[in-house]
Amino acid sequence: MGANDKHKNSMFSLLFSDPDTLRELYSAIEGVELPADVPIDVNTLSNALFMGQINDVSFTVGGRLIVLIEHQSTINQNMPLRLLMYAARLYEKIIDRMKLYQTGLEKIPEPVFIVLYNGKAPYPERATLKLSDAFKDASGLRVKTPGGTSPALELTVQVYNINQGCNAAMLEKCEALGGYSVFVSKVWEYRQTMTLEDAMKAAIRYCIENGILKLFLETHSSEVQNMLITEWNLEEAQQAWLAQGRDEGRSEGRTEGRNEGRNEGKEQARKEMLNFIAKGYTLEDIQRELSAAARGQ
């Protein structure tokens, strides 16, 4: 499988699939002015670690390999580990494997891992996740040296909150990112009083009428709506099932029961979400099924 093979688009990946838009986005995030003659090569891969894909966009620019993720719910603390696995696959695809057996040093793009957060839970404007935070304590098994030792393996993820009111300079510098932030905020707003489908339609209508992502949404409105309904149905259903699993575990009143409940909730979420979505269920249909299950029906 090569770059982009079987990659399932999201609105985010569709919006930022154009090299010129990626150039503007990269410039805004890094705070630089990227010349138009610097080539950008999109190399997004499909990956089964996260519902068919782990990232939204990955691309090379100059000597850097950028892996970019949009995150809607709470930030997953295991993201550095997941990205470590993804990066290894990505390097396998963009590097001639035979060169690894030559004696000369093979130069590779420097990896940069970025998460753009737009969920509802409060989160700082900027944060850093490190792979080393997940390492088990093995201090008693190695020689202690003054000043300590740095990890033999590290991966750092920079997280930027792109909700309205956060990182204003970044959103202003990249028109597409700023427009996407407004669009998502309108969906959250309309979702309070509307069905998911109606909230999507209202947000698309609002943005077009106000000149926000106007051309993009006029061209891809139906596609965007279908993508987002599927994504958000999966996301909200997963959160509901995980919560249900935690509640079932707590009802046991034991640590073992809580752990079993979490594991069962995760497994049920994985199977049932995909099953319902494949059948064309709406979020409201899924919520009714959850309510019935909770009542023991």
- Which backbone phi and psi does 25 adopt, to 5 degrees? -65, -45
Reported confidence tier of residue 278, pLDDT bands at 50, 70, 90: low
Question: 128 pairs with which residues across the strands?
Answer: 158
Q: What average pLDDT does the segment 246-273 reach?
A: 55
Q: What is the mean pLDDT of the chain?
A: 78
If pLDDT is split at 50, 70 and 90, which confidence band does 207 have?
A: very high
CB of 206 within 8 A of CB of 213?
no
Q: How far apart are CA 176 and CA 157, in angstroms?
A: 22
**Is residue 268's pLDDT more than 90?**
no
Residue 279 has pLDDT above 90, yes or no: no
> Residues 119, 103: contact at Cβ < 8 Å?
no
Q: Global pTM?
A: 0.75
Strands 64-71, 57-61: pairing kind: antiparallel
Please state, as a whole number, how many other Cβ atoms lie within 10 Å of the Cβ of residue 176: 19
When pLDDT is cut at 50, 70 and 90, the band that residue 120 belongs to is: confident
Q: With 90 as the cut, is the pLDDT of residue 193 above it?
A: yes
In the block, tokens 């000043």 appear at 147
What is the crossing angle of helices 283-294 and 255-278, to 10°? Answer: 140
Cβ atoms of 86 and 55 closer than 8 Å: yes
Q: What confidence category does residue 23 fall into, taking pLDDT thresholds of 50, 70 and 90?
A: very high
The answer to whether 45 and 93 have CB atoms below 8 angstroms apart is: yes
